[in-house]
Amino acid sequence: MPFFEDVVVAESISIRTTPEDLFTYLTAIVDDEGFKMLNAKNISFRWLKGEPWTVGSVAYAEKYLHGKLHKFEFVITKIVPNRHIEYMPTSRLTRRLFPKKEFIIEKESDGCLFVSSATFRVGWIGKVFFKKAIEKGLSDFRSYLREEGENLKKILESEHA
């Protein structure tokens, strides 16, 4: 039995917009205002290093998850225009438990599919002794991702209405 197991939490939603418009919207998020529109739990966002949304650039974000304020510093690790954004925490310690978050955009006949996912590492000891707390945390994060997708859908589809 491995000491840690990757658990992927993902939510997807179809949006009547082009992959280009969705990607452009996401990469236009450069400050608190744009970040807060994605989810009411988002508090603060700013770029610390590099050009926004380019590989190697570093951003800082604050958000409420399961009732607690979380502060994240992350680095962009992959950008495929109109298809994929991937980032990870800058802290090696945090990366051990939360290795990456990503947005995937797939073209559909009447728009695109937006997939937001996060990978967590859960140890077998935690699964045994903290099972309910871990399940609640993952469920809360899934709800956060779902709200993010639903808000994107409302924003982008109202622009095309």
Please name the residues in contact with 130: beta carbons below 8 A apart, sequence gap of 6 or more: none
**What is the pLDDT at residue 86?**
98
For 64-102, what is each residue's pLDDT tens digit? 988 889 999 999 999 999 999 999 999 998 888 889 999
User: Among 153, 148, 145, which residue's Cα sits nearest to residue 21?
Assistant: 153
Dihedral through CA 132, CA 135, CA 136, CA 142, nearest 10? 180
Structural domains of the chain, with CATH:
4-159 (3.30.530.20)
Output the furthest CA–CA distance in the chain (Å, rounded). 52
Beta bridge partners of 65: 68
pTM for the complete prediction? Answer: 0.90
For 111-143, what is each residue's pLDDT tens digit? 999 999 999 887 766 666 777 877 888 888 899
**What is the pLDDT at residue 91?**
94
